[in-house]
Amino acid sequence: MELKRVVVTGLGAVTPLGNDVETTWKNALDGVSGAGPITQFDASKFKTQFACEVKDFDPGKYFDRKELRKADRYTQLAVAASEECLADSGLDLEKENRDRIGVIVSAGIGGIKTFEEEVSNYTKHEELGPKFNPFFIPKMISDIASGLISMRHGLRGPNFGTVSACASSTHSAITAFDLIRLGKADVIIAGGAEAAISISGVGGFNALTALSTRNDSPQTASRPFSASRDGFVIGEGSACLILEELEHAKARGAKIYAEIVGGGMSADAYHLTASHPEGIGAKLVMRNALEDAQMNADEIDYINVHGTSTPVGDPSEAKAIKEVFGGHAYKLNISSTKSMTGHLLGAAGALEGLFSILAVKNDIVPPTINHEEGDDDPEIDYNLNFTFNKAQKREVRAALSNTFGFGGHNACIIVKKFKS
């Protein structure tokens, strides 16, 4: 069968860099860090006392008081991002067949704050017997953001969340892309959300020694591809994309940001938390994406890398890029926007996909901040252009976005300039 073409017609975001797409994108291009001391709990006894938090977010704009009690913070952020992307798309839902509009918004963890609060409340009052919030389970589960978004708008198309740790929302976008090009939906809201800046979230990642402990300088703590990197900076937020079948978009006169042309998936089959040091899964997922897009490696101009600022992950991804792209690797722009946003876990792929779409649309590549002269890792080839510290204008015909998750889950999506 002939596959349908899929385009992006709406964007929405609530991130450590801003509570909308415009502010987030501007701050990313300006190289602003979203990191600062943790305000959501007392982190003074933790090894890591900082994070990339969403600032000045008012869930009351999206929920009344009664509904707010039923929604974990991760779901609140997802609803806010979905509302922005729907508005941006210009879709008139009153005129649409809502049986053919779906929602696939994912979380790697889900309602960890709700789980933590309910268990803590039980242990404090254990002598009184079990007493739990009746909304405990639906607040906590990682698919509920998708369900709630669909309920708010009566969207009866495909509805679920994919879970693959930090690759979750890239898997969401790939799944949405596949469903639309197979003709199973006209429009899908695809994305991710996460809100794990909590006692158990930070404590758990500290126990893994996965987080940076640069407490004296939070804004410079996320430093991908630098020798002095010491772990990732945990972030929170949500990003959503409207993916739409091309002819459907054209029929309603939609603006088109870019075209989704391919997606790749693979597994490292190696380690619970670490990437394969030789980038075996990373090489495979990029090759799979290029094959799916029917593109040659030299047609890619920008890679938004997973680039978390961990000792093993960064050099393995750089090695994989060199092997997949060969000589063209030195003509690419590469950047890790996690250096500014922190690592949004299950929402990372959607946000980094959004950055890739805007890079293609605007012919500019956001930077990898916090690299200092002389802070070079002998395992990394600095002849590659990591777009250190300053955004770079260039033609971006197509961009590739990598996300890798605990469990060895790898997902990669390719976007390119739309041409009718």
Catalytic residue check, 166? yes
Output the pLDDT for position 277: 83
Output the pLDDT for position 275: 84
DSSP code, position 242: E
Q: What is the mean pLDDT of residues 264-281?
A: 90
- Is 151's pLDDT higher than 80? yes
Residues 179-212 pLDDT 10s: 999 999 999 999 999 999 999 999 999 999 999 9
Out of 248, 276, 343, 371, which one is annotated catalytic?
343
Mean pLDDT of the chain, nearest integer: 97
Enumerate residues 6+ apart whose C-beta is below 8 A from 152. 79
Output the pLDDT for position 230: 97
- Is 292's pLDDT higher than 80? yes
DSSP 152-211: HHT--S-EE---BTBTHHHHHHHHHHHHHHTTS-SEEEEEEEE---SHHHHHHHHHTT-B
- pTM of the full structure: 0.97
If one compares 278 and 315, the residue with the highest pLDDT of the two is: 315
Output the pLDDT for position 248: 98
Q: What share of the chain in percent tops pLDDT 90?
A: 94
Q: What is the mean pLDDT of residues 146-170?
A: 98
Residues 43-84 pLDDT 10s: 999 999 999 999 999 999 999 999 999 999 999 999 999 999
**Cα dihedral: 147, 152, 157, 162 (round 10):** -30
The lowest-confidence range among 118-132, 163-177, 279-293 is: 118-132
Out of 166, 240, 371, 409, which one is annotated catalytic?
166
- For the chain, domain boundaries: 6-416
Alpha carbon separation from 73 to 14, 145, 193, 292, 390 (Å, rounded): 12, 10, 9, 36, 33
Q: What share of the chain in percent tops pLDDT 70?
A: 100
pLDDT tier for residue 339 given thresholds of 50, 70 and 90: very high
Enumerate residues 6+ apart whose C-beta is below 8 A from 344. 15, 52, 192, 194, 235, 236, 237, 239, 351
Q: What is the mean pLDDT of residues 236-260?
A: 98
DSSP code, position 19: S
Q: What is the mean pLDDT of residues 307-324?
A: 96
Residues 345-376 pLDDT 10s: 999 999 999 999 999 999 999 999 999 999 99
pLDDT tier for residue 278 given thresholds of 50, 70 and 90: confident
Output the pLDDT for position 127: 75
Q: What angle do CA 359, 186, 152 make, to 5 degrees?
A: 90
Output the pLDDT for position 67: 94
Residues 101-144 pLDDT 10s: 999 999 999 999 999 999 998 888 877 778 898 999 999 999 99
- Is 261's pLDDT higher than 90? yes
Catalytic residue check, 306? yes
Output the pLDDT for position 274: 82
Q: What's the farthest any 2 CA atoms get from each other in the chain?
A: 68
pLDDT tier for residue 152 given thresholds of 50, 70 and 90: very high
- Is 96's pLDDT higher than 80? yes
Output the pLDDT for position 273: 85
158 phi, psi to nearest 5 deg: -50, 135
Q: What is the mean pLDDT of residues 249-256?
A: 98
Q: Select 6-416's CATH number: 3.90.1150.10, 3.40.47.10, 3.40.50.11030, 3.30.559.10.
A: 3.40.47.10
Bridge-based pairing state of the strands 302-304 and 333-335: parallel
Catalytic residue check, 85? no
Output the pLDDT for position 125: 80
Out of 306, 371, 409, 412, which one is annotated catalytic?
306
What is d(CA 326, CA 351) in angstroms, rounded to the nearest whole number?
Answer: 27
pLDDT tier for residue 310 given thresholds of 50, 70 and 90: very high
